[in-house]
Every structure is written in C-alpha cells, then in structure tokens.
Chains A and B, each alone.
Chain A
Amino acid sequence: MNFEFTDEHLMIRQAAKDYAERELLQDVLERDAKAEFPARHIKNLAELGFMGMMVDPKYDGSGMDTVSYVLVMEELSKIDAATSVIISVNNSLVCYGLCKYGTEEQKEKYLKPLARGEHIGAFLLSEPEAGSDAMHQHTLAENKGDHFLLNGTKNWITSGNSASTYIVMAQTYPEKGYRGINAFIVDRNSPGISLGPHEDKMGMRSSDTHSVMFTDVKVPKENRIGEDGFGYKFAMKALEAGRIGIASQAMGIAAGALERTIAYSKERKAFGTEIANHQAIAFKLADMAVKVENARNLCLKAAWLKDNGKPFAMESAMAKLYSADIAMEVTTDAVQIHGGYGYVKEYHVERLMREAKLTQIYEGTSEVQKIVVSRTLLRE
C-alpha cells in the first residue's frame, strides 16, 4: 500500500492548479453569466497537454496515467467545471475510446488532432428517448455497402457546436436489439448535420450543449469503430473510463467549495468571533472534509485499478455515484455556511452548487451507477 504521489504527479497537479487559479478564475463568472465557450482556455490547456493526457505520445498525447488525470480534473473543477467537462469528454470518452478500439488509420487521422487539442471531440449517445436507456437507439445507420447513412437526433451533446469530431452511436440492425448498434467517427462538417439551439442550462453554462440532427449523413465504412455491432459495448467501455473523469470533476467541485468555505469561515465574524469558532460551523466543515476525502480516495482507487490493468467498472461507478452525491451535499452546505453571501454569484459557491447537480445526471445518472454497482455485487 502506498499513498504517495510521484514528483511528476505533484508537478502535474500544481500545473493544473496554477492554470485554474491564474487563468480560469479570471473570467469564470463572466463566462457562466454569458454561457460563453472557453475557447481561449481550451487552446491554452491543449498546449499544456491536457486534451490528450492519457494518449500515447506516438499519437501526440501526453502519455500520463489515470491518477494524473484525476489530479488535473480535481484542480480544474475546483474553479471551473464547465471547462473541465470539455476536457473530460475529450480525454476519457473520445480519446480513450479511439485509443482502445480505433484502427491505426483512425488513430492517425482522428486521434492525433484530438490528442493535440486542435480538434475537440464529442460523444453522441443520448437521444430524446434514450438517455439512461442506451440500449434503445433510434438513430439509424443504414449499411449501404461502402458507407453508412445516418438519420436521427442526439440530445445533450457536450461540445456539440465546438467539436470537430463526433463519435456517434446508431442502430444498424434494429432486429438485433443492442447488438445491432454501431459506433462511428463522424466529421462535424459532413453534409446533413444540423444543430439545435445552445441549451440554456442551470450550471456548466459555458460548455456548449446542443442536440444534433442527422439527415442522410454519409459516413464512410472505414469510420465504423470495431466489428459490426460493437457500438453498444464500445459506448459502455468508454463510459466506464469516462466515469472516472466525471467522478473526479464532482469531487473537485466539492473540494473547491470546501476550500472556499474554510477560508470564508476563518474571516467572517458573527457573535463576536470568526464563524469557524462556532461548533455548528466547525463540525459541518469536518463532515464536508470527510466526504471530499472519501470521494478523492474512490476516484484515485478507480484510476489506480485502470492504470494497473485491473477491472474498474464497479469502482468507477462507485466513485461517480458517491462523488456526485457528496458534491451536491458539500456545495449545499457551503452555500449554507456562506449565508446570504453564498447565494450571490461573487462568492462562487452557488455556481459550484449548480454545477454539482449535473454530475448526478450526466454520463450515467446516480441511479444508473447503482445499477452497475448492484449488478456487479449480485453477479459475484
């Protein structure tokens, strides 16, 4: 058992912290208010190597381990989860999926610019009637021999407008059920793709979420990922890894709220002393810290299992379930301790609370994580 980070881990964490505190913090409130995409930051973070963190350097990635990824997601999410979700989707859904299941040609053509961060990736699984029920895809991908023809609508797509590369799940053989689903790499500029309006969200407002419509979109057959009918399994495998990213994001949101609340309660005075000296506040801080530390350990354990080639599906589900739920609890407590100040935007904790809510919903709701965990338990 060894809980020590390596010097590289510490340096990577510090790099993410420095960028978040020096750059993201400057305009996070304004971007949240205007729902403005963090284009400048994504470019800078790409230069630092955060867009393809775990991709092999031979495909232009940074070659880092998943533990590093957890540390980066935590630090960025403490300040700005709307930016960190763009990084999470690019890294652990899109790049991870292509790394693991893409052909050499697909990696050369699509993975490299994604890992360099010159292109942004999006993962198109959810549909108006298929969110948690991912097995029932209504988007069709008709097999036309040398190409597939895509028709249908995808919902809640992170980076829907800003992405250049889409990974799209669609049904090719409806009679085969989920075994008929395929995954495709689709160029965002393909004729026949149109976007719904920018979703006006409660939180994570500066990430651009759209629905995406496909009308007779031709996808070359070499853009299918894996064997015919591999799409559902591909999506589930990508989500297994993706959960570590979102779990770490949720944990980071909670850790950010905790840090702000500790600082605030050492400054703010009531009844003649700093509020941290009141046990009602101090005990709440202790409870918040225990939750954050538990979440951090679950995230790091899932990452460690993945890095060591061991099964991590249940642990990543546990990490996401717990981190998302405590993110909601910790941010709610943070707003409570800040009192009226917590309810205004300047103090950030209300935004962290709005952001926390989404972590219980996207990339598998908390309920779906319970299905994953319980099924694994009951199978054993």
Chain B
Amino acid sequence: MKFLVLISNVPDTTTKIRFVDDNKAFDTTGVQWIINPWDELALTRAVELKEAGGIEKITVANVGESITEATLRKALAVGADDAIRIEAKPKDAFYVATQLAQVAKNYDVVMVGIEASDYNGSAVGGMLAEILGFNSVSAVSGMNIENGQLSLTREIDGGQQKIDVETPVVTIVQKGIAIDPRIPAMRGIMMARKKPLTVVPAVDAEEKTEYISFELPPPKAACKLVDEDNVKELVRLLQEEAKVL
C-alpha cells in the first residue's frame, strides 16, 4: 500500500501575526516555518504503520516555493521515503487541491490534516477526493491496517465510529491519529539529506478566492475575578459583558 502524506508549511504556532498590503496578506518576515501540527501527526501514524510492516512506501508532498523544502526535509527525517514539492505559491484551497491531485492520483491512501494552522480552511482534503473521485473519510482519529484492509476510527457526536474503507481514499485526520508528533532521530536527519526530493511544475488552476482583508482578533480583556458567593454577579457578567448566556 502506498501512502501520500500532505505537508502544509505553516508559521510556528508562537508566531506574532502581522499583516501587510492593506491587511490583504500575512507578513512572513522573520517567520519560523514548521510542519502543520495535524499533518505532523498524520505523518507520525504513517511512519508507525510502516514500521509495523503495513505500508510499502510513504511519500510527502506540498505546494510551495523552495523555502518550504526545509519542512519537507524534516518530514523525510521523521521517516518519509521521498518528497515531492509542487513549484507554486499556494493560493486558495481549490488551487492547492488541483495541484496536489496530479501527484495524489498515484497513491492508495492520502493523509491530510483536518486543517492547516495558518488559514484553517479545512477544505483541501475534501476537494482533493472530489477531484480524484477517491473515497473520502473525515475526522479520522485512528488508523490501522490488518491483512491489507484499511480500518479507520472516526470521532462522531458522543462516541466513535469504526469503519473499513476501500482504497484509493483520502483520509482527513485529526488529533488522536497519533499521540505525539515524532521527533526525528539523528540518523533520520542525516539520511534525509540523501532521500529524493522531486520538484514538479504547477498545472494551470483557477484561483477561486480573493482575499479582501484580514483582521486580528481583539486583544484579550483582563481577567475578572468574581467572589465565589456572588453567583448573581457572575451571571450578570456572562450575560451583559461576555454575552455568552
């Protein structure tokens, strides 16, 4: 079974977010880039399954410019066998899904994080499955392979659902798919340099989204402490100030 894990290159989660171009674009100056945390968990599970003997090969792929190769190298250090970078600046979800489709069509199982921690669009996985005509399973929190059968666990309201699925499939994974992202071992880091990283050109794709403006959430207000006996005041604050009741 051949696996493709999609890797989104996102700003470190502690990055201070700023915007440029009239608040139409994210300011990337001085940003440290990491693997999208959900994709990192997906990769970790794929590597675990490969170590258990259920996977023939793991490829990682992204859509990005050459700066994103460090992120792909890290994925190779964690345990992917090879990497593909599609030479393009990622625009919107449809554009990215269209680019990835040209690569993903050659794989049995595609793993993609439920969202990317930059724009949190949660759209690429579903679009990709639709473009390719693959099965698609969302909110996957567990994955196993037994006797060549892919079994998935999904989180549903109030419980879990276990399903067997036919390949090819796009699995949209979330927290729980692996416990912690795997830290690359020294040997993996050294081997990553020698693993193949192929750059493929972008295909024509329509850009369906125009960013009008971004804005930061209002700064968090100071914490208010309410005396434990004063439930009335707590309810009033929740109604009138926090407006959550």
Give A contacts to B, CB under 8 Å.
Answer: 7-8, 10-12, 14-15, 18-19, 22, 47-50, 53, 57, 62-64, 68
Q: Is the CB of A49 within 8 A of B185?
A: yes
Residues of B close to A11: CB separation below 8 A: 73-74, 77, 184, 189, 192
Residue on B nearest A11 in the bound complex, by CB: B189
Question: From residue B32, how far is it (CB to closest CB) to chain A in Å?
Answer: 9
Question: From residue A10, how far is it (CB to closest CB) to chain B in Å?
Answer: 7
Give B contacts to A, CB under 8 Å.
Answer: 70, 73-74, 77, 180, 183-187, 189-190, 192-193
Apart from A15-B183, A64-B186, list 18 A-B contacts with CB within 8 A: A7-B70, A10-B70, A11-B73, A11-B74, A12-B186, A12-B189, A15-B185, A18-B183, A22-B180, A48-B183, A48-B184, A48-B185, A53-B186, A57-B187, A62-B190, A63-B190, A64-B190, A68-B186
Bound CA–CA A53/B190 (angstroms): 11
**Cross-chain pairs A/B with CB under 8 angstroms, 21 sampled:** A7-B70, A8-B190, A8-B193, A10-B70, A11-B184, A11-B189, A12-B189, A15-B189, A18-B183, A19-B183, A22-B180, A47-B185, A48-B184, A48-B185, A48-B186, A50-B186, A53-B186, A62-B185, A62-B187, A64-B186, A64-B190
Bound CA–CA A11/B73 (angstroms): 9
Chain B facing A: main interface SS: helix
Question: From residue A56, how far is it (CB to closest CB) to chain B in Å?
Answer: 12
Knowing A12-B189, A63-B190, A64-B190 are in contact, say whether A7-B73 is a contact too (CB < 8 A).
yes
Residues of B close to A48: CB separation below 8 A: 183-186
Q: Is the CB of B70 within 8 A of A49?
A: no
Q: Is the CB of B185 within 8 A of A8?
A: no
Chain A facing B: main interface SS: helix
Question: From residue A242, how far is it (CB to closest CB) to chain B in Å?
Answer: 20
Bound CA–CA A50/B189 (angstroms): 12
* Nearest 7 Cβ contacts at the A-B interface: A49-B186, A62-B186, A48-B185, A49-B185, A11-B189, A15-B183, A18-B183
Residues of A close to B74: CB separation below 8 A: 11, 14
Residue on A nearest B180 in the bound complex, by CB: A22
Residues of B close to A63: CB separation below 8 A: 190
Question: From residue A214, how far is it (CB to closest CB) to chain B in Å?
Answer: 35
Question: From residue A293, how far is it (CB to closest CB) to chain B in Å?
Answer: 18
Bound CA–CA A188/B110 (angstroms): 51
Bound CA–CA A10/B73 (angstroms): 11
Residues of B close to A62: CB separation below 8 A: 185-187, 190
Question: From residue B180, how far is it (CB to closest CB) to chain A in Å?
Answer: 7
Question: From residue A132, how far is it (CB to closest CB) to chain B in Å?
Answer: 34
The listed residue with most A CB atoms (<10 A of its CB), out of B73, B74, B180, B189, is B189
Bound CA–CA A63/B189 (angstroms): 11
Bound CA–CA A53/B186 (angstroms): 8
Question: From residue B221, how far is it (CB to closest CB) to chain A in Å?
Answer: 16
Q: Is the CB of B184 within 8 A of A15?
A: yes
Residues of B close to A47: CB separation below 8 A: 185
Residues of B close to A68: CB separation below 8 A: 186
Residues of B close to A8: CB separation below 8 A: 189-190, 192-193
Question: From residue B37, how far is it (CB to closest CB) to chain A in Å?
Answer: 12
Question: From residue A23, how far is it (CB to closest CB) to chain B in Å?
Answer: 9
Residues of A close to B180: CB separation below 8 A: 22
Bound CA–CA A50/B183 (angstroms): 12
Residues of B close to A12: CB separation below 8 A: 186, 189
Bound CA–CA A22/B70 (angstroms): 22
